[in-house]
Amino acid sequence: MWKFKFPQEGDVAADIRERYGFDGDLLDIYAGNKGAKVHKWHHYLPIYDRYFSRYRGTPVKFLEIGVNNGGSLQMWRRYLGKDAVICGVDINPDCAQYDGQSAMVRIGSQDDPAFLADVVREMGGVDVVLDDGSHQMEHVHTSLEVLFPLLTMGGTYMIEDLHTSYIARFGGGFKQPGNFFNTVRRMIDDMHMWYHNKGKPQVPALAREFSGVHVHDSIVVIDKAELQRPTHSRVQK
């Protein structure tokens, strides 16, 4: 099933350029990475750039769940710039060694609401969340429920590696209740409440404060914005 490994002798940059038509700073930063190891699916690079490029060179407050070898935090520092407030969280105490290198690192579980709230408080708020943590369906849901209400209006919430939604050991499975894409379907229903009027939101954590849900291969992006009642008009000049 999982025969997607890139050949060791392959040209990473060429593969991304040729297959996804993507080029630019983020590709150079990733493909030319030195120092801490960074591991990403190739099709993620253009998706990252699409949603995160507007934050470059700003004092964005960027929270990544999952530190691993520290390479991803290094990549984000190089991409977002010196003014970004970047924090990585991980349950593995070994990750504490990366604190202060490219970002602050805090040790705790993404399944711990108090821990997550403390991290956001220490950051002074959060504009972007990137969930690259355990990929356990229960943990993904808990983090969303805690962090989305704390996200700045106009912010971005991204969850990656959601192919795990189809794997039993992550709490998912095809057409299984825990599959995160079932939550996405309920979010879409909530977004269209004006047309069906079925009462309370099915995903209360979002509180109808989202204007878009974008689904890519293994990635879901949620735009935080107050959901506005639709209006229409006919204009003739």
The 104-107 sheet, strands edge to edge: 104-107, 85-90, 61-65, 126-131, 151-159, 219-224, 210-216
What is the average per-residue pLDDT within 8-20?
90
- Percentage of the chain exceeding pLDDT 70: 97
What is the domain count for the chain? 1
**pLDDT for position 226:** 86
User: Within a domain: residue 38?
Assistant: yes
User: Within a domain: residue 104?
Assistant: yes
**pLDDT for position 6:** 75
* 30-53 per-position pLDDT tens digit: 999 998 899 999 999 999 999 999
* Domain containing residue 125: CATH number: 3.40.50.150
**pLDDT for position 10:** 84
Residue with tokens 């003014």: 83
**pLDDT for position 209:** 92
Name the residues annotated as catalytic.
135
* 170-182 per-position pLDDT tens digit: 999 999 999 999 9
107: containing domain: 12-224
- With b for 16 or more beta-carbon neighbours within 10 A and e for fewer, the 68-99 pattern comes to bebbbbbbbbbbbeeebbbbbbbbeeebeebb
**pLDDT for position 133:** 97
User: Rounded to an integer, what distance in angstroms lies between the CA atom of residue 41 and that of residue 160?
Assistant: 10
User: Within a domain: residue 84?
Assistant: yes
User: Within a domain: residue 4?
Assistant: no
User: Within a domain: residue 6?
Assistant: no
**pLDDT for position 2:** 55
Averaged pLDDT of the chain: 94
User: Within a domain: residue 21?
Assistant: yes
* 126-177 per-position pLDDT tens digit: 999 999 999 999 999 999 999 999 999 999 999 999 999 999 999 999 999 9
User: Within a domain: residue 7?
Assistant: no
User: Within a domain: residue 235?
Assistant: no
